[in-house]
Structure 1
Amino acid sequence: MTGIRVGTDADEQAPERSPGSRSRDALRAAQMYYLQDLTMNAIARELRTSRSTVSRLLSMARETGLVQIQVNNPSERAPALEQQIRRRFAVEAHVVPVADSVNDSEVLDRVAIQAARTITPLVDSNAIIGVAWGSTLSAVSHHLTRKQTHDSTFVQLNGAGNTQTTGITYASEILRRFGQAYGARVEQFPVPAFFDHAETKTAMWEERSVRRILDLQRRMTMAIFGVGSIGAGVPSHVYSGGYLDREDLETLDRDEVVGDVATMFFRADGSHRDILLNRRSTGPDLDVLSRVRRRICVVSGESKIDGLRGALAAGLATDLILDEGSARRLLHT
């Protein structure tokens, strides 16, 4: 069953609209098309414009959040893959249908679109939402639709600097898109992804400016993240962006690491406490993360399945959004 919600001028969740007739026309076109079942030709006649203009107005209504389309899947009628994942891993699953012939980049884009549409209804006012940076979340951030919230905050989950760059531009752009989409504050975490020495991290974590961010993370009501993997078809940014040197990668191999969430690493069985590189990582303690009420994990590409299995074993996700091929492999390998 598909539900379609069209905003009105008095709707507190509709985005702020710029002055002018185009926004008003987009709203009128959406109301006539979705609520009155008028054809685009009929709307064009009423608005005294062309059919192609009506099409653009309807696209504008969807992109700006005037129209929110939600597909409701009651559990008894949910697709088989989603039902199986829910039963086996105790997570709310959203499987994105994708043909086997589609390349990795297109799969990522389709998963990102679904993730953005799934996330928007879950974002509320007075929320503190943690966001990890990475290739997957960057893609998701480009597809967010606007929804006005009040007194909400998006906080960066892990530092982004390395020996080649501060990482501030890359991470801040992802956070900016989330904040802009929902009218929320943004709190960056301007520290490296990994400290050179664990002792440096221990000292920094005592600084008041850092403790303020850590306190926000501890009070999160939602966290949104992907799963990092070395061999992914679309390489995880932490592995391809100069964050880890050869010695780091050898250490991860010795520790039998299969993946990471927000630069915190884990093994296939979900264990993580004695992994050496986690002592230098600026990501959230995975025990803290696993206590956040809503934890949305977005995964694209079958090559991330080992990492995803480890994340699920660690209990890091309450909601999982993934492509169809990955869903099949998760269940059958």
Structure 2
Amino acid sequence: MDNNELKLLITIAQMYYEQNLTQNEISKKLSIYRTTISRLLKKAQEQGIVSFSINYELSSTFLLEKQLKELFNLTHVIVTHNSDSSTIQDKLNTMGLACADYLKQIICDGDILGLSWGSSLAAVAEQLDASSYKDILCVPMVGGPAGKLESKYHVNTIVYNIASKLHGKSLLMDFPAILDEQFLRDAIVKSQHYQQISKYWDSLSIAIFGIGSCEVSDKSIWYGFYGDGDDVKPINQEPIAGDICSRFYSYRGQPIQTTISETIINIHLQQLKKAKHRIGVAQSIEKADAMIGAMKGGYLNTLITTKETAQAILDRTLSPD
């Protein structure tokens, strides 16, 4: 490229990118065809006269979302960010708002929503704005707690509150998630009320659920649902990584039969996977293994979590160990 052509490329680039002139304006000023201006601007990029860069630092969560999406073949990832002084409730509220906003993007008239219990889902219900849809139905995907649990975390409370805000209908569970004996569960499974709810588990449009782990340091909610936890033990040798709706799985994402598997009233993981949108909402570095297992198992295709949790998942997954 000779010196005259180099000067022309610089001149056109300067007029277009610094003076903000249009290609038509440059064409008239330099008496050059507009199509030639377009070709020369492209050449200026190819020759390195003009270069572009994306400032990813402006969105500190963008790269985390991109990595998680690609690593676990997810449809959508939302990583929220709070200040260092934020409380756990602040983080839950931010995630709840993110989930509520995403729900408004995907929900359609006639959708059937399946919901679980817990603090993350309670935050979603709290942050969701009132909207009007036709023929929305919200159903629980698991029964109620066997132990002590604040009512705002109860699946029936969450189902009712979200249905109310969407101007939809709700079906509630009138029985606990964990029964003392298998024959009690078998009797409930045959009941008309159970059959009415469970038939919708195969046709969920959207499933929104928390991800449980017995590894969290504050086990008050876990114990509130499962009691002291001594009864939740794997039948095989593979340890439990986490649970969704009281269905347990390993770090590899494989379902695990436990000592309570035959006494639980809840959706099966294979039924859950039929939902078009499977949204896992969870946070805590201590839950990293549980969330990895859930993604490896394909139980969720949308993840909503915090920045530090997202980083812990990546560190754990990409570690050479």
Does TM, normalized by the shorter one, top 0.5?
yes
- How far apart in 2 are the matches of 1:278 and 1:309? 22
User: Is 2:114 the partner of 1:135?
Assistant: no
User: Is 2:297 the partner of 1:309?
Assistant: no
Structure 2 counterparts to residues 52-67 of structure 1, below 5 A? none
The alignment partner of 2:260 has SS state of helix
The alignment partner of 2:252 has SS state of coil
CA contact (8 A) 2:210 2:282 kept: yes
Classify 1:169/1:273 alpha carbon distance in 2 versus 1 (closer, same or farther; 3 Å). Answer: closer
What letter corresponds to residue 133 of structure 1 in structure 2?
Answer: W
Residue matched to 1:202: 186
- How far apart in 2 are the matches of 1:191 and 1:167? 15
CA deviations over 1:242-299 (Å, ceiling 9, x no partner)? 5333531455896511111111111111111533322222121101111211101111
Structure 2 counterparts to residues 224-263 of structure 1, below 5 A? 224-232=208-216, 235=219, 237=221, 239-250=222-233, 256-263=239-246
Residue matched to 1:61: none
Unmatched segments (≥5 aa) in structure 1: 1-77
Provide TM-score, normalisation by structure 1: 0.70
User: Is 2:80 the partner of 1:96?
Assistant: yes
User: Is 2:316 the partner of 1:329?
Assistant: no
Provide TM-score, normalisation by structure 2: 0.73
User: Is 2:176 the partner of 1:192?
Assistant: yes
Unmatched segments (≥5 aa) in structure 2: 1-60, 317-321
Classify 1:156/1:236 alpha carbon distance in 2 versus 1 (closer, same or farther; 3 Å). Answer: farther
CA deviations over 1:284-327 (Å, ceiling 9, x no partner)? 11011112111011112211111101111211111111111111
Residue matched to 1:268: 251
User: Is 2:260 the partner of 1:277?
Assistant: yes
Classify 1:215/1:107 alpha carbon distance in 2 versus 1 (closer, same or farther; 3 Å). Answer: same
- How far apart in 2 are the matches of 1:112 and 1:173? 16
CA contact (8 A) 1:231 1:303 kept: yes
CA deviations over 1:83-111 (Å, ceiling 9, x no partner)? 11111001111111234443333222221
Residue matched to 1:211: 195
User: Is 2:170 the partner of 1:183?
Assistant: no
Shift of 1:172: 2.5
CA contact (8 A) 2:137 2:170 kept: yes
- How far apart in 1 are the matches of 2:96 and 2:205? 21
CA contact (8 A) 1:228 1:236 kept: no
CA contact (8 A) 2:140 2:172 kept: yes
Percent identity reads 22
Residue matched to 1:83: 66
Shift of 1:163: 5.2
User: Is 2:92 the partner of 1:108?
Assistant: yes
| Moved beyond 6 Å, runs of 4+ | 165-169
- How far apart in 1 are the matches of 2:283 and 2:259? 27
Flag the structure with larger Rg.
Answer: 2
What letter corresponds to residue 95 of structure 1 in structure 2?
Answer: V
- How far apart in 1 are the matches of 2:303 and 2:261? 24
CA deviations over 1:75-132 (Å, ceiling 9, x no partner)? xxx8111111111001111111234443333222221221221112222111111010
Residue matched to 1:299: 282
Residue matched to 1:148: 132
CA contact (8 A) 2:223 2:229 kept: no
Classify 1:175/1:234 alpha carbon distance in 2 versus 1 (closer, same or farther; 3 Å). Answer: farther
Shift of 1:157: 0.8
The alignment yields a C-alpha RMSD, in angstroms, of 2.6
Q: How many residues align?
A: 256
Classify 1:166/1:95 alpha carbon distance in 2 versus 1 (closer, same or farther; 3 Å). Answer: closer
